[in-house]
Chain A
Amino acid sequence: MVGLAYDLLANPQGAVRSTFEKAVASSGLDFDPASLDGEDWGALDLFRHFLSDQTHLSQVPILNGETVKWVRPNTLVRFRGMIQDMLGNEFYVGAFKDGDVWRTNKFMDVSHFPMPMASTSSPHMRVWERRLLYCVPVPGRNSWTEPSSELVVNRCVDCSSHQREKRRRMDDEPVDHMDMLVSDEGFQGSPSTKKMKEDGQPSMSSQTTEPINEGICSHMSMVPSIDSDSLPCLVKIYDSPESDLKLNDVFEFIGVLTFDSEVSMDKDDQDELSNGFSEDVLVHLPPNKVPRLHCLIHRKLTVPDFLHSSPTMEPKPHVVKEIREALLRHLTAVLGDDSVAAHFMLLHLLSRVHTRVENIAVGKLSLNLTGFSKESVSLFGHRLSLAVKDLLPVTHCIPLTVEYLNSASLAPIKDYETNRLITGVLQLAEGSHLIVDETQLKAGTLNSVGVDNTRLLKNLMELQKVEYDFKYYKMEMAADVQLLIISEGKSNILPADIVIPFQPTSVDSSEVRAAEALEAWRWYLATVKSLPHSIESEMQKVVENDLVEARQSDRNIGSQDFNRWLTMGRLMSVSFGENCLSLEHWQMVKELERLRRERLK
Chain B
Amino acid sequence: MASDSSPANFNGPTSPDDSYSSPIGNTFSSPGDARRRSRRRSSTPSAFATPPPNQSRFATSDANPALTPTPSSRRGGRRGGRRATSTTPVNAAATPTSTDDAPASSEGGEGYDADDARPTFVWGTNISVEDVNEAIYRFLKHFRDSSTASQSEDGLLREGKYEIAIKRVIEIEGESLDVNARDVFDYDPDLYTKMVRYPLEVLAIFDIVLMNMVGRINPLFEKHIQTRIFNLKSSTSMRNLNPSDVERMVSLKGMIIRSSSIIPEIREAIFRCLVCGYYSDPVVINRGQITEPKICLKEECQARDSMTLVHNRCRFTDKQIVRLQETPDEIPEGGTPHTVSLLMHDKLVDTGKPGDRVEVTGIYRAMTVRVGPAQRTVKSLFKTYIDCLHIKKTDKSRMLAEDPMDVDNPTGRNVEDISFDEEKVEQLKELSKLPDIYDRLTRSLAPNIWELDDVKKGLLCQLFGGNALKLASGASFRGDINILLVGDPGTSKSQLLQYIHKLSPRGIYTSGRGSSAVGLTAYVAKDPETGETVLESGALVLSDRGICCIDEFDKMSDNARSMLHEVMEQQTVSIAKAGIIASLNARTSVLACANPSGSRYNPRLSVIDNIHLPPTLLSRFDLIYLLLDKADEQTDRRLAKHIVALHFENPESLEQDVLDLSLLTAYVSYARKHIHPQLSDEAAEELTQGYVELRRRGNFPGSSKKVITATPRQIESLIRLSEALARIRFSEWVEKSDVMEAFRLLEVAMQQSATDHSTGTIDMDLITTGVSASERMRRENVLSAIRSIIMEKMQLGGPSMRLLELLEELKKQSPGPEVHLHDLRNAVSTLASEGFVSLHGDTVKRV
Contacts and interface: CB of A to CB of B under 8 A. Distances in A.
B334 A246 contact: yes
Contacts of B489: 556, 558
Contacts of A249: 334
Interface in B6-44: 27-32, 35-38
Interface stretch (B108-116, B240-248, B558-566, B779-787): B240-248
A120 B366 contact: yes
A548 B640 contact: yes
A157 interface: no
Nearest to B655: A357
A91 B643 contact: no
Contact of B648 (A268, A472, A540): A540
Given A121-B246, A128-B243, A242 B335 contact: yes
A119 B35 contact: yes
Contacts of B338: 88-89
Contacts of A127: 243, 246, 366, 382
A247 interface: yes
A421 B257 CA distance: 14
Interface stretch (A208-216, A274-282, A371-379): A274-282
B135 to A, nearest CB: 22
Nearest to B53: A117
Contact-size category for A: 35 or more
B636 A566 contact: no
Contacts of A111: 380
Contact of A555 (B243, B373, B629): B629
A248 B336 CA distance: 11
A248 B334 contact: yes
B383 interface: yes
B391 to A, nearest CB: 17
Given A92-B381, A357-B654, A547-B636, A247 B321 contact: no
B647 A570 contact: yes
Interface string B313-333: 000000011010100100111
Interface string A529-562: 0000111000010011001100110011011101
Interface stretch (B138-146, B258-266, B734-742): B258-266
Contacts of A272: 27-29, 263, 288
Q: Looking at A126, A470, A559, which has the most chain B CB atoms within 10 Å of its CB?
A: A559
Contact of B341 (A121, A247, A279, A556): A279
B636 A548 contact: yes
Contacts of B647: 362-363, 535, 563, 566-567, 570
Contact of A280 (B325, B383, B631): B383
Interface in B598-629: 629
A269 B373 contact: yes
B333 A246 contact: yes
Nearest to B491: A558
Size bracket of the B interface: 35 or more
Give the interface centre of B355, B384, B636, B637 by most chain A CB atoms within 10 Å. B636
Contacts of B382: 90-93, 118, 120, 127
Interface string A21-51: 0000000000000000100000000000000
A496 to B, nearest CB: 18
Nearest to B243: A127
Given A119-B37, A276-B260, A544 B337 contact: no
A362 B637 CA distance: 20
B124 interface: yes
Interface in B290-332: 320-321, 323, 325, 328, 331-332
A355 B651 contact: yes
Q: Which of A246, A279, A358 has the most CB of B within 10 A?
A: A358
B38 A121 contact: yes
B328 to A, nearest CB: 5
B383 A273 contact: yes
Interface string A459-499: 00000000000111101011000000000000000000000
A453 to B, nearest CB: 15
A533 B260 CA distance: 55
Contacts of B29: 272
Given A118-B368, A266-B369, A275-B321, A421 B336 contact: yes
B644 A540 contact: yes
Contact of A273 (B341, B633, B636): B341
Contacts of B270: none
B636 A269 contact: no
A427 to B, nearest CB: 11
Contacts of A269: 370, 372-373
B243 A478 contact: no
A514 interface: no
Contacts of B124: 121, 123
A206 to B, nearest CB: 36
B354 interface: yes
A473 B355 CA distance: 9
Given A357-B651, A552-B636, A88 B368 contact: no
Given A275-B321, A421-B336, A242 B239 contact: yes
Given A92-B381, A117-B35, A269-B370, A276 B331 contact: no
Interface in A169-203: none
5 contacts: A111-B380, A247-B334, A275-B260, A540-B644, A547-B643
Interface of B: 27-32, 35-38, 124, 239, 241-243, 246-247, 255, 257-258, 260-261, 263, 288, 320-321, 323, 325, 328, 331-339, 341, 343, 354-355, 366-373, 378-385, 397, 448, 488-490, 492, 495, 498, 629, 631, 633, 636-637, 639-641, 643-644, 646-648, 651, 654
Interface of A: 37, 85-86, 88-93, 105, 109-111, 115, 117-123, 126-129, 242-243, 246-249, 262, 265-266, 268-269, 271-273, 275-277, 279-280, 355-360, 362-363, 416, 419, 421, 470-473, 475, 477-478, 533-535, 540, 543-544, 547-548, 551-552, 555-556, 558-560, 562-563, 566-567, 570, 581
Which 7 interchain pairs have the tightest Cβ spacing? A246-B334, A276-B260, A558-B490, A272-B28, A547-B640, A91-B382, A127-B243
